[in-house]
Amino acid sequence: MKSDTVFKQAFNQTLDLLSAAGTGAPLPSENALSADLGVSRTTVRKVLARLSERGYVAGQGRNRVIASAVPDGAHFPHPETVATAKQVEVHFMEWMLRGQAQPGTQINELELARAFGVGTTGIREFLNRFRRFGLIAKRPNAGWVFMGFTREFAMELFEIREMFELRSARALAQLPDSAAIWPRLRAIERQHRDLLRDIDERYQDFSDLDNRFHRLINAAAPNRFIDDFYDIITLIFHYHYQWNKHDERARNEIAIHEHLAYIQALLTRDLPRVQAACTLHLASARATMLATFEAA
């Protein structure tokens, strides 16, 4: 049976909308809600029905109004709103990157399914999708093997990353003045400066900014295989640095400065300078990640 995480998440989001609007206000149309929440109207109607049942909303059809304030505890608990596939991902990344798993470890579908509280199908699907990340290998009819999040893996990952990013940075620098990318680059430059100003409080926001910055560069000359590869980078970085907080503030501050130099270079469109700034930053990112292997 399908899980109803979509419904529960939509329900919680709608509760927040109700709170924001206040008692007595009329509700938006079903179509509007559907667009807002990013779910089908079928789900919206299910949410509305539940809200009426609970008494938070009164009236029928197009005469619905907010009937009462939403009490604390009306939301579905967070874990119930996370899609099964996402849960598997989080569990599996933790299992892999936090060291319980040695290179060469056999992966047992049924065992993982039990441990993560999902059916074997979910595990299977995840493993199949995750295969392209290069961290697991399949032996037909005989299961999966974890290959290890090793120094070697990181080296290979960065080799490709540098190749791709250099290519995209070059392409970006050669775009005409009229290209839509330049204002976007300036906008992200501003966000870097803002973050740098509040670095002491907000240094954790860098991870997201970093991701957006590199994706913007790749967007200069779109290529689906490069985009795909960036999914791998994003996932690995996301989980790796989430559990590896050593020197995070200092690391991020340095990276912001590198980004700013890189952006300056791009804005001048001086190709050698772009390449230098790009190479410098990526080498630094690589050194940071490789350093985590030395420590261990």
Question: Which residues lie near a second copy (CB under 8 A)?
Answer: 6, 40, 121, 124-125, 128-129, 131-132, 134, 141, 153, 156-157, 159-160, 163, 167, 223-226, 228-229, 232
- Partner whose footprint covers residue 295, from a second copy, DNA, none (CB < 5 to 8 Å by kind): none
What one-character-per-residue DSSP string does 262-279 give? HHHHHHHT-HHHHHHHHH
Q: Which residues contact 131 (CB under 8 A, 6 or more apart)?
A: 137, 138
At a CB cut-off of 8 Å and minimum separation 6, what does 93 contact?
235, 239
Of these, 84, 168, 218, 252, which contacts DNA (CB under 7 A)?
Answer: 84
Q: Compute the least distance from the CB of residue 129 to a second copy, in Å.
A: 5
Tokens found for residue 190: 């501003």
Q: Are 69 and 19 in contact (CB under 8 A)?
A: yes
Minimum gap (Å) between residue 43 Cβ and a second copy: 9
Minimum distance of a second copy from residue 234's CB (angstroms): 15
Whole-Å CA distances, 184 to 117, 175, 218, 261: 43, 13, 13, 16
Which residues, numbered 142-171, are part of the site for DNA (CB under 7 A)? 142-144
Asked if 141 interacts with DNA (CB under 7 A), we say: yes
Nearest to 281 by CA among 255, 263, 252: 255
CB 160, min distance to a second copy, A? 5
Three-state DSSP at 223 gives: coil
Instruction: Report 18-47 residues binding DNA (CB under 7 A).
Output: 29-32, 39-43, 45-46
268 touching DNA, by CB under 7 A: no
Cα dihedral 79→40→61→55 (10° resolution): 0
Beta bridge partners of 58: 65
Considering the rule CB under 7 A, would residue 265 count as an interface residue with DNA? Answer: no
Q: How far is the CB of 124 from DNA (least distance, A)?
A: 6
Binding footprint of DNA on the chain (CB under 7 A): 1-8, 29-32, 39-43, 45-46, 60-62, 64, 83-85, 107-111, 118-122, 124, 138-144
